[in-house]
Amino acid sequence: MSELIRFGISIEDTLLEKFDRLIQERNYSNRSEAIRDLIRNELVQEQWQDSETEAVGTITIIYDHHVRDLTQVLTRVQHDFNEQIISTLHVHLDHHHCLEILAVKGQTKIIRKIADKLISLKGVKHGKLVMTTQGERV
Ligand code: NI
What are the tens digits of pLDDT across the range 19-70?
999 999 999 999 999 999 999 988 887 777 777 788 999 999 999 999 999 9
User: In whole angstroms, what is the distance from residue 27 CA to residue 38 CA?
Assistant: 14
62-86 b/e (C-beta count within 10 Å ≥ 16 → b): bbebeeeebeebbeeebeebeebbe
pLDDT tens digits for range 65-120: 999 999 999 999 999 999 999 999 999 999 999 999 999 999 999 999 999 999 99
Look at residue 138 and tell me whether its pLDDT is greater than 60.
Answer: no
Cβ–Cβ under 8 Å, residues 106 and 83: yes
From the CA of 72, how far away is ligand 1's center (Å)? 13
Q: Does pLDDT of 137 surpass 70?
A: no
Per-position DSSP letters for 115-132, written without gaps between them? HHHHHTSTTEEEEEEEEE
Determine the distance separating the centroid of ligand 1 and the alpha carbon of 87, expressed in angstroms.
16
**C-alpha to C-alpha distances, 53 to 59, 88, 112, 132, nearest whole angstrom:** 18, 22, 12, 11
Strands 97-107 vs 54-64: parallel, antiparallel or unpaired: antiparallel
Contacts of 45 (CB under 8 A, 6+ apart): none
pLDDT value at position 12?
93
pLDDT at 132: 87
Contact criterion met (CB below 8 Å) for 57 and 113? no
**Separation of CA 92 and ligand 1 centre (Å):** 4
- Whole-angstrom distance, CA of residue 35 vs CA of residue 31: 6
Going from the Cα of 61 to the center of ligand 1, the distance in angstroms, rounded, reads 11
Rounded to the nearest whole angstrom, what is the distance from the C-alpha of residue 100 to the centroid of ligand 1? 8
